[in-house]
Structure 1
């Protein structure tokens, strides 16, 4: 059913959907990662297509195959009105979202073959036995909407003619599956997403098959490079455990897990930094006779460094060269934008060292707490999976920089 699941679009729902279409409010349209600015000429084209589509839809009767009307669909039309985001579409009562198997075990339970595959399915019904959703092959509709993500078209001109060929951007796009929902006409997008997540959880528990939402990225359309790069390497002897944390962060596919793994690199050295500070302060203490007041102060300071945030600050203050950090921020316009010029959450790289280290500590610690602390029903910020992915992803270059400096400085000390 999945390949042609979009045939279950309800005619009455489609008519209502078509009646609500308008080019007003459109400013730009993403087509395969290329942003098209919507000027008056583009609006005119889209309005013409809306009128043509609406006219065809109004001629349909219940039981007719609506797909006969889709011949007037263009990339402008589908990406303006059917595309939800880089992995989902919605049309009247129909919703479809791209999925990929989370592991090899799941892949082998639903995909048969190797280079060319046939696909199984998981059909989902409600209590009365009505089909409400299906997991399996993606539909022709979602393929057509995202065609420009899956295919690069190359145009060649000769003296006598113009011809073209195509390159597939995926080795086997059939391994990208989807979940389709058939009865969500009046359901909010937020509730649809929640329904998808709950279905995937139940599938995981019932069939031990795990799927994840798949988002298409225009980077895949790039031809890529085959540059030979050279690097000089001298073994520095990083501590083994934080090295494993760092490699795990670099290779993590989930932004939250990547952030926490980077944080664990820094957390690994908390005790080492605390002890170094204590030994340094204690070595300055007069012991003949013992200055009990100074000793008490040193012990209190040591106790305070056991605080999570103070421990992080201590690790960073030793490991981070502020001038090098400034240069790193300035090296990339995006870093300047994200980490550069905000009073509250970004770094002003011109501040003196103590302030910069304090601000870095607060930034890292606050995001860490929003991920690690998941207590609901209070006013604290919680980094919800998928909803906060973009926000956390922006922090990862900073965490990578800090954790690498930390492991470089503290290893072996």
Structure 2
């Protein structure tokens, strides 16, 4: 009997994750590190038990959408607008400083000026998944630290989308600035559409049929993925569309129930995401890119927290909270991996620069997860004193 490749892949991911998670907990290590390590072990560049990580990576994107959808469900439009205004200076200022630092490291490593510029730009983004997954639910939804981290990550995501559009436009010979201008015009239109659809269609339907839990579950998933798909068609990222879908429904009295219902589904796909991160890295290139990758990773892990602390304290945040936010955002981003891959295919980055950026991103995922789990409250903390959810 022929094995179903999907079933076999999921068997490897979740059975392997369960075993490694047990070992990680016994050794007092981060579960996220275990998932990434499992991807490296089973992926195409390890034992090759999962020969093609595309299926896992594509499935994992759904987890990111659900994560941002659930965040949006607890954040009203008024709260979101207020948070974005407060953190614009921090986000822009950190991006500029990290562009200079990352670009300088790239030039020292022998990259071309264009390569150094792209690498430096990618340094300015932090991981949405790690930043939010490791923040306790109470802090994420009901405390100032959650508002700051969400707003910074959202602005970073918009900047990253603009950079991706710029790279795509340059590769196609199109006018990238026109695409970015369309992005700026499209986003408000999507927000207005989501608000009207939620107010006059979705919320009335939910109120009418709120006795049928399966119906509410289907409505929530359909709305989340539908908005994600619409955002993708308009040139935005699906994750931004999913977040807007959540914000639009935040005023619904059923929002808390939807959030609780979708949380296990979110965690299922997030395990796939971290496995895919490890599986996609070409271990054969590690020796060639080790030095620049280590320099980039070390700069992110040490300088990002300091930069965020400096800027946040300047805007009036207490030093202790500013330090914690800096450490929680002290890694590179999923967008760094996307930028490296796209720039490699378009020729904007050579193999050495692209794999240096990817390797540095994976290293910061590992180290940052470990540091945050050991030092700050998280849902997966090893210490009972730090475990919060």
Q: Normalized against structure 1, the TM-score is what?
A: 0.26
Structure (1/2) with the larger helix percentage: 2
Bigger radius of gyration, 1 or 2?
1
